[in-house]
Amino acid sequence: MKRLALIVVLIFTTNFALAQIKKPVKWGVTTEKVSDTEYNLVMHATIEEGWHMYSQFTPDGGPLPIVLTFKNQKGNFELIGKAKESAYKKQFNKDFEVDEYFFEHQATLTQRVKLLNTKLSKINVNIDFQACQTSCVNDNVDVVFELPTQITTSTTPIATERKKDSMASASITSTGKVTESKQAPSEAVTKPIQKEDKKGLWAIFFFSFLGGFAALLMPCIFPMIPMTVSFFTKQSQSKAAGIRNAIVYGISIIAIYVILGSLITGIFGAEALNELSTSVGFNLVFFALLVVFALSFLGAFELVLPSSWATKLDSQADKGGLLGIVFMALALAVVSFSCTGPIVGTLLVEASSKGGLAPVVGMLGFSLAIALPFMLFAMFPAWLNTLPKSGGWLNTVKVSLGFLELAFAFKFLSNADLVLQKHWLERELFIAIWIAVFGVWALYLFGKFMLPHDYEKAVKIGVGRLIMGVLVLTFTFYMIPGLWGAPLKILSGLTPPITYAESANGVGSTIASKSDVPEHAHLGPHGILAFDDYAYGLAYAKKVNKPILLDFTGDACANCRKMEDNVWSNPEVLSILKNDIVLISLYCDRKIELPKKEQYISKTTGKEIVTIGNKWTDLQITRYKSNSQPLYIVQDAEGHDLNKPTAFTFEVADYKKWLKEGIKKFKK
């Protein structure tokens, strides 16, 4: 009897947990008067444990960012910049192949506004956001900011941990309305705290350090190592003085490049760099820049700074002393620009796309790699005997970097294309370009042709160059299956998504042709026939007399993609989805506006249903008392449920059993 009671309780609680409406984020608001016409509108979010909410800076193609909609703005007030955010985390999402920015536990957004209508007493804002755990919730709330008459002068910065009594006790009710139980104390917001992902910064430092070593092996720098070290050892009065001068020289090199990185961050700002990283213009400009840098390395032309700069710096260096050594470091930076410029430019492009302190950290890594050899060889001059002699291999390194720059340039063109959805550079074309670039690079390494700065007479290639050629050729062969739909996991995050292709299911795959696709249907993941409208899908299910798999999903739902990639791809599950059932995928995050006559007020939530995503979310909430995706239900052709809803799971056997149970009930 006890066992039976326990089973009943477990079934009840499981069904209740699946069916409940989830509100993982609660919002509170405060208003701060900064001057007679300017106010800070502060939005505080409290996020349930285990959940995370995405930042407004999350790139296109990834999860849904926060979107703030200010109502009745025209003629009443204007926004001063974009809303500032408190500390957020950054992590690469393998499913969407983008860096995503998100908050855990709490978040604060601050929007500065300037009044145009001095009689305005309140401002209404709609906050649209997505929160995810093992499932995702797309929600929006309406908040009201009362405009105080007194100026607040506190300058307390936003803390990573906020005390409960330091924010408004306002919360969002199940209908999305804000209720306030007391007036919140004023807290002026100065600027957002940028909390860099430590792993991301270490990665930037590491790759920039490697870039510095690559620059060190360039024809403009490598021959200068013994010359510079010899100068310090001969001109200094003692060994200690020589070492001191070399250290000053190295520190000066580091300072020059770190200042350059700091200027990039200071001029643009951390937030602006995050926004630039998803900008079409930013990506197109950097595509062009990297192509120019690549052509320079390949020998098409030289990128040089005015010779007068180097002359002036040399004259200052001749004066001697510590200041003269600093000018020697500046002279090195200017004279070597034709070799280091493209590498520095590429590193700054990549670091700038990460935002925050990444440009500074990147330049620190780059300059440290260049400065260390000068300092170490000055301390241990005998090591100079171990250096290889200058020669044609230096130009081989330079040309190899040119091929790499040319390949990576197309990453930025692809970013712009993905944002615009123009399909200029689909997956197959991108991979074909990379195969061509790396294939030609391999031929160059094997000595099949020469470029402008190579020696006129062909020489035998060394063992190192041969091994490098074999590695590049191997990588070229590895990429070829990608033209037929192979995942190419090594290139995850560089190539366009596998669905962004001429043949999203792979070239030559045995999927239905377009002529076999019914009206209002399309080919979904893995070539499964799918409808994205409930009425059309229901009508088709009646026509073919098959059950329905109702799939509440989202374009920006990471766990939905994981289900499709890891569970639906199972041969037995895929066979069921293709042959035994009609798939209706309802996207709850689509912002396509409904025709005016189809817009309505939800009887369940009281919210305005304006978009297609609103419509399917309302259906899910009304019928299944759930607002998180993914959610799956098997129905008959009349729209009656045949089994209980199920959500995200990696258990293929359980999901397959669940599908078969629904189909079995349909056949009865």
**Do residues 483 and 431 touch, judged by C-beta distance below 8 A?**
yes
**Do residues 115 and 53 touch, judged by C-beta distance below 8 A?**
no
Residue 524 sits in the same domain as residue 647: yes
Residue 376 sits in the same domain as residue 270: yes
User: Taking Cα atoms as reference points, which of 502, 576, 574, 581 lies closest to residue 548?
Assistant: 581
Residue 164 sits in the same domain as residue 220: no
Domain end residue (candidates: 386, 410, 425): 425
pLDDT for 270 equals 46
User: Residue 627 is part of a domain; what is its CATH number?
Assistant: 3.40.30.10
Residue 406 sits in the same domain as residue 537: no
Strand partners, 179: 171
Asked if residue 377 is part of any domain, the answer here is yes
Region of residue 474 (left: phi > 0; alpha: psi -120 to 50; beta: else): alpha
Asked if residue 454 is part of any domain, the answer here is no
Asked if residue 86 is part of any domain, the answer here is yes
| Cα 57 from Cα 64, distance rounded (Å) | 10
Strands (E), 48-156: 52-54, 67-70, 77-85, 89-93, 98-104, 106-115, 122-132, 136-146
What are 579's two structure tokens?
């042959």
Q: Looking at residue 142, what DSSP letter applies?
A: E
| Cα 53 from Cα 126, distance rounded (Å) | 16
**Do residues 15 and 75 touch, judged by C-beta distance below 8 A?**
no
Query: At 230, is the secondary structure helix, strand, or coil?
Result: helix
Residue 210 sits in the same domain as residue 152: no
Residue 230 sits in the same domain as residue 289: yes
Amino acid at 647: A
Residue 144 sits in the same domain as residue 208: no
Domain that holds residue 111: 24-179
Asked if residue 78 is part of any domain, the answer here is yes
User: Residue 156 is part of a domain; what is its CATH number?
Assistant: 2.60.40.1250
Residues of the chain with pLDDT under 70: 1-20, 61, 94-97, 149-200, 217-239, 242, 261, 264-279, 302-324, 327, 329, 331-357, 380-394, 418-421, 455-459, 489, 492-494, 497-499, 503-515, 556
Asked if residue 476 is part of any domain, the answer here is no
Residue 260 sits in the same domain as residue 394: yes
Q: Each residue of 599-626: pLDDT tens digit? A: 998 888 888 899 898 899 889 888 888 8
Domain end residue (candidates: 149, 179, 209): 179
Domain end residue (candidates: 113, 144, 179): 179
Q: Each residue of 408-464: pLDDT tens digit? A: 888 878 877 765 667 888 889 999 999 999 999 999 989 888 887 776 555 677 888
pLDDT for 489 equals 65
pLDDT for 147 equals 83
Strands 600-601 and 608-609: antiparallel
Residue 377 sits in the same domain as residue 252: yes
What are 633's two structure tokens?
């239900």
Asked if residue 471 is part of any domain, the answer here is no
Q: Each residue of 129-148: pLDDT tens digit? A: 988 887 788 888 888 888 87
Residue 630 sits in the same domain as residue 661: yes
Residue 313 sits in the same domain as residue 396: yes
CA-based torsion, 158, 163, 166, 169: positive or negative: positive
pLDDT for 662 equals 92
DSSP codes joined into one string, 425-443: S-HHHHHHHHHHHHHHHHH
The count of structural domains within the chain is 3
CA-to-CA separations, 465 to 213, 299, 338, 575, 644, in angstroms, rounded: 18, 19, 24, 49, 63
Q: Looking at residue 66, what DSSP letter applies?
A: P
Residue 369 sits in the same domain as residue 221: yes
Asked if residue 152 is part of any domain, the answer here is yes
What are 105's two structure tokens?
């536990």
What are 154's two structure tokens?
């506190």
Q: How many helices (H) and strands (E) does the chain have?
A: 18, 20
- What pTM does this model have? 0.46
- The number of beta carbons lying within 10 Å of the beta carbon of residue 610 is 15
Asked if residue 488 is part of any domain, the answer here is no
User: Taking Cα atoms as reference points, which of 130, 131, 113 lies closest to residue 122?
Assistant: 113
